[in-house]
A = this chain, B = another copy of it.
Amino acid sequence: MTTIKTTLKELGEQGLIRLLQPYCSDVVGDDAAIMGMTTGDRQMVVTTDMLVDGVHFSDRTTSAEDVGWRAAAVNLSDLAAMGAQPWGLVIAVGLPADTTVAWIEGVYRGFWECLKTYGGELVGGDTVRSPIRTLSVTAFGQVANSQIIRRDRARVGDAIVITGVHGYAKAGLELLLNPVLASNLEPVLSQEAIRRHQRPIPRFDAIATLQMITQELAAPLIAGMDSSDGLGDAIAQICRASGVGAKIDWEALPIPIVVQKLAGERARDWVLYGGEDFELVLFMPLEIAHKFVAALPTAMIIGQAIAPNPENPEISMGSAFQHF
């Protein structure tokens, strides 16, 4: 592969991940990695995310405070997706010399606000010179062995549960890029979409609810990850890791009115592929799912795990639900 595909553009992201896999220990594959370091019956997990100016944020759509909030929230969401509680975070920042002090202080303020709200403490960092503003955050958390959520634990028959509505973040981004789009919308609708884009919320409330419901189970039964790369991607990845297919109940999958208005015919695509909603996508036994959605008002059952298509397992697992 390396002799033919000479640049990353040709290789693609999945190709790159396959290429680098041999250098990593075999725990890689979930939102966060289990470090093999235990305190009592708790596992330590770790996750890292890099945000780059012009790729993951821009002055056009994201204030300094929102950049900092986002840098914290995306990492905390990865911890939540493992069922873990946040502990400490470190942040490395690359900055051009002409960066304003107001900007970097705003970033730290937003970062700190998110930690104050959702937990975790900033324990260290590094600041270096760089031609492009870059933030790299690593977050650690802890989770009881019996409550670890992984991608590879879904079983045929499981209910597919989301902790909230998808599509808002994409709608918010479009509204920030093209403010004129808001002219046909109630202000309260566009504001909510923008807020959800700018201030993603790590769903530790959903994890706490789930753990109350499952605390008497001896072994973990929940598969899941967050929907940062899109609801469709999350379902496909869990299906692939677990060797199951997925059947989506399209009538149960809500499309927010703001998405209907902005996306028109492409509304369902925004819900499935818009990304950055940072909800949790969970596969769990139906009985637990009913208790969960009863206890967490924003959550809903949107489908079921089914046997993979024996004639074409690659399609029914890899591309999951697209074929139902």
> A residues within 8 Å of B by Cβ?
1-2, 5-9, 11, 13, 16-17, 19-20, 23-25, 27-28, 32-39, 44, 46-52, 54-56, 87-88, 90-102, 104-105, 108-109, 111-112, 121-132, 134, 136, 138, 140, 142
Contact B101 A25 (CB under 8 A): no
Contact A35 B87 (CB under 8 A): yes
Contact B24 A124 (CB under 8 A): yes
Who on chain B is nearest to A15 by CB? Answer: B101
- Give which listed residue, B16, B51, B136, contacts A104 with CB less than 8 A: B16
Contact B35 A112 (CB under 8 A): no
- Determine how many copies of this chain the complex contains: 2
- Give which listed residue, B88, B101, B111, contacts A19 with CB less than 8 A: B101
> Considering the complex of A and B, which 7 residue pairs feature the smallest CB-CB distances, nearest first?
A136-B136, A33-B124, A138-B138, A9-B97, A50-B92, A33-B123, A48-B90
Given the complex, which residues of B lie within 8 Å of A49, measured CB to CB?
A: 92, 126, 128
Given contacts A32-B124, A48-B138, A124-B48, contact A97 B130 (CB under 8 A): no
Contact B46 A37 (CB under 8 A): no
Pick the most buried of A9, A97, A101, A131: most chain B CB atoms within 10 A of its CB. A101
Given contacts A5-B101, A101-B7, contact A138 B19 (CB under 8 A): no
Given contacts A122-B23, A130-B132, contact A95 B8 (CB under 8 A): yes
- Give which listed residue, B2, B95, B125, B127, contacts A105 with CB less than 8 A: B2
Who on chain B is nearest to A31 by CB? Answer: B124
Contact A48 B9 (CB under 8 A): no
